[in-house]
Amino acid sequence: MIFFLECKMTLQSDSTQNQETTCLNCLSYGIFDNNNNKLLTPCINCANDNNWIWNGKKCYGACNKIEINNEDLSINTYKIFYKERKYSLEYCLNIIPEECHKKFLELVDLNY
């Protein structure tokens, strides 16, 4: 799933996912610590690439330096993939976690 530009994440190890990144989306949209050297929340693409888990907890990624929740992800998927890019309902449901399905389907029903 590509929400932003193609991204490439460089991780030091599975247990320290916040060490280094060459992902331009994480650098632009992710959340870093105060020293700007520790990635606290990756971009949406990298969160997806890591099965929506970051540093051992559920993570839907960040957009514009703000961590998003499952509702935000549902809305973004609806607007970007379903409405703008005209991807199928099935495709959209397959690229988001199950907990996002209800909100996404509500948006489809409302034709938001």
**Predicted local confidence at residue 36, as pLDDT:** 78
Please write the tens of the pLDDT for every residue from 75-86: 999 999 999 999
74-94: burial string, b at 16+ Cβ within 10 Å, e else: bbbbbebbbeeeebeeeebbe
Measured between alpha carbons, how far apart are the two ends of the chain, in Å? 22
Confidence category of residue 35, pLDDT binned at 50, 70, 90: confident
Summarize the confidence of residues 61-84 as an average pLDDT: 96
